[in-house]
Structure 1
Amino acid sequence: MTTLNAETPAIAPPVRDSGPVAGSPRRRRFRLARSISKWLFVLPAVLFVLVFFGYPIVKNLAMSFQDYTTTTFYTGEAPWVGLQNYITTVTSSLFSTTMLNTALFTIGSIVLQFAIGLGLALFFKRNFPLGGFLRSLLLLPWLLPLIASSAVWKWILDQDSGALNQFLGVFGVHPVPWLVSPSLALIAVIGVNVWLGIPFNATILYSGLQGVPEELYEAAALDGAVGWRAFRHITWPSIRPVVSVVIVLGVVYTLKVVDVILGLTGGGPANSTQTLATWAYQKSFVQFAFGEGAAISNILIVISLVFAVVYLYMSRKEVDE
């Protein structure tokens, strides 16, 4: 057996190279290289956002303060008019009509889309034969081009040869002027937009329901909380974040709907389906008053932002409480 005596030198552990010393020039160059490489990966996304989102927003804002018409494209000069485009828009006789139509169109669409979508999501949460196949069919309205869907619905709702009036005629109902009556056109347009928006609501809400643990329902059933009570105390609080996303995105999307209304009624009859979005389109691309069209668009953007901020603030406050 070998023992160490006082004269035996201790063996030092091997020294490992821990890299550049903190604060050294090599360490600083290393950190700089890492920072540059991170920004290089982010740079394409930043450029994409600035070019395709930032520039149009800034340009649209600038156009709203200018007398921007077709002549501007030739002369290259757009006179600065300040708030005149906004004043002309707000004082127009169409402003109150379009604001009311926008509110009715948005509220009616969102309420019905959400209610029907939530009902379908709860229905498809149950396991039954062909459930997956039926869920896939539910996505068809969402996958079709909007202008194609509008053309099909325009034929369905036609007063003389529409499929809906022909079906109602079997029961003795006289042809209904769905798209040419000022009192019915907005209701018909809302109905078509609801049909188009149900798949989005049902799909997102169904995904949210999938994240609710079944153990919560089992524990609640022991206390007698089933049916409506289980939905109120378990399902709804659990999917509230998903509901917030669905409603905010739904409102923002519905506020800017143009193709559905233009495809069905063109904003008529007698401006009964004219909204801020369609009014901005007609000002810009029919009357070529780009300055006023930009002003209407900016008003629509402000309304969307105000709603999103207020609703998210109220939802967060309710969750915190």
Structure 2
Amino acid sequence: MKKEIKQQVNKIGYRNKKNRAMKWTSYLFVLPSAIFTLVFLVFPILYNIFLSFKNVTMMNLRSGSEFIGIDNYLKIINDPLFYTSLKNSIIFTIACMLFQFVIGFALALFLNKDFPGRNLFRSMLLLGWMIPIVITGTIYKWMLAGDTGVFNFIMEYLGIIDSPIYWLTDENMALVGTIIANIWIGIPFNMLILLAGLQGLPTQLYEAAKIDGASRFKQFIFITLPLMKPTIQILLMLTMIYTFKVFDLIFVMTGGGPVDATTIFPLYAYQEAFTNYDLSVGAAISSVMFVLLTIFALVYLYISRKEDKN
């Protein structure tokens, strides 16, 4: 009897040791990704926040800098360009999100149908998303040129306008020109995500709706939109974060001009850090942008969790 009890105790001890070993082995598999996240994501964010509370410029980068508290944040709050870039970022983000989503949804509904050449057409639409943004910005800079641009040539030929529109050199139209280019870039991504969501919807509901005599519009309003709500929420969140931090497209097309008409938050931070060589002010602007995006993300998570509970 004692031998059996001793054997059972030994077996339990062996199992516990084995479970502990497996637990530590699991952590080892996660370790590379954790190190990567800490080194290339967490550390740069924390260092950027630390840098925003100091007075670091190209002049004192080697000699050292002093801790100045929130002076950099007070400096950007008192800078009129801060509010200009914030306004431009909001307009740019909302306009791009609206048109990318509407056009992308329309194309997703179209490509969700079965017709000859559907896969080819879908692949062609993805080219706009796959092309490097620097190349896209350069192409649109040529297409939107005032006297020689393709846009103006077509509109003048069709009789829509009488004289050229200076899309990228007129301060009243420059932001519109960059929005047009960014809409074209973002449509394929919106279409792809929405198309994946549409293909996962149950067809039985649509068949039942047809039997009940529901029109396609009613099917879209009462079946498609409610079922697509989680996909739409995630898509809008990703699109907002991606659009709010756009830098390369505007840098290539306008450089923030004319007269700061297309200066958005990332470009404002770049100008302060690498044009005015005030690294701490640039870090402060980046920190503000990080806080704004974090707030948007937290609001989204709160709304999602609240809906899941309901």
Using structure 1 for the length normalisation, give the TM-score: 0.90
Write the distance in 1 (CA, Å) between the matches of 2:117 and 2:126: 15
Give the conservation status (yes or no) of the 8 Å contact 1:139–1:199.
yes
Q: Which residue is 2:218 aligned to?
A: 229
Match of 2:25 in 1: 37
Picking from 67, 70, 77, the partner of 2:58 is 70
- Tell me the amino acid that sits aligned with residue 179 of structure 1: L
Gap change, CA 1:44 and 1:19, over 3 Å in 2: farther
- Name the residue aligned to 1:155: 142
**Unaligned stretches of 5+ residues in structure 1:** 1-16
Instruction: Give the partner amino acid of 1:39.
Output: Y
Match of 2:39 among 33, 42, 51: 51
Note if contact 1:185-1:269 (Cα within 8 Å) is conserved in structure 2: yes
Cα distance change, pair 63–18 in 1 and its aligned pair in 2 (3 A): same
Per-residue deviation at 1:27?
3.6
Query: Does the CA-based 8 Å contact 1:114-1:201 persist in structure 2?
Result: yes
Q: RMSD value over aligned CA atoms?
A: 1.6
User: What residue in structure 2 maps to residue 124 of structure 1?
Assistant: 111
How many angstroms does 1:202 deviate by? 0.2
Distance 1:267 1:65 in 2: 26
**CA 1:34 to 1:228, structure 2 compared with 1: closer, same or farther past 3 Å?**
same
Distance 1:257 1:117 in 2: 19
Equivalent in 174, 186, 189 of residue 197 of structure 1: 186
| C-alpha distance 315-47 of structure 1, shift in aligned 2 (>3 A) | closer
Name the counterpart of 2:129: 142
* Residue of structure 2 in register with 1:277 after alignment: 266
* Offset at residue 149 of structure 1 (A): 0.4
Give the deviation of 1:32 after TM superposition.
Answer: 2.5
CA distance, structure 1, for counterparts of residue 8 and residue 57 of structure 2: 66
- Secondary structure of residue in 1 paired with 2:68: coil
Larger Rg computed on CA atoms = 1
What corresponds to 2:209 in structure 1?
Answer: 220
Taking the aligned partners of 1:43 and 1:114, their CA distance within structure 2 comes to 38
Give the drift of 1:95. 1.5
Query: 5+ residue gaps in structure 2?
Result: 1-6
In 1, Cα distance between equivalents of 2:281 and 2:298? 26
If each structure's helix is expressed as a fraction of its own residues, which one has the higher value?
2
Alignment partner of 1:302 is 2:273? no
Higher relative contact order, structure no. (Cα contacts within 8 Å, ≥ 6 residues apart): 2
Once the two structures are TM-superposed, the CA of residue 318 in structure 1 deviates from its matched residue by 4.5
**By how many angstroms is 1:315 displaced?**
4.3
Instruction: Count residues with an aligned counterpart.
Output: 302
Question: Does the aligned pair in 2 maintain the 1:261–1:273 contact within 8 Å?
Answer: yes
Against the structure 1 CA distance between its residues 48 and 137, is the aligned structure 2 distance closer, same or farther, given a 3 Å change threshold? same
Conserved? CA contact 1:154–1:264, under 8 Å = yes
For 1:49 and 1:291, locate their aligned partners in 2 and report how far apart those are by CA, in whole Å: 24
Determine what percentage of the aligned residue pairs are the same residue: 39
Separation in 2 of the partners of 1:206 and 1:275? 31
Report the CA distance between 1:19 and its aligned residue: 9.7
User: 1:168 touches 1:174 (CA, 8 Å); kept in 2?
Assistant: no
Q: Among 93, 96, 99, which residue is 1:109 paired with? A: 96
1:169 and 2:156 aligned? yes
Provide closer, same or farther for how the CA distance between residues 220 and 320 of structure 1 changes in structure 2, counting only shifts above 3 A: farther
**What CA distance in whole angstroms lies between the structure 1 residues aligned with 2:20 and 2:246?**
47
Question: 1:316 Cα deviation (Å)?
Answer: 4.2
Deviations 1:260-296 (A, max 9, x none): 1111111111111111111011111211211111111
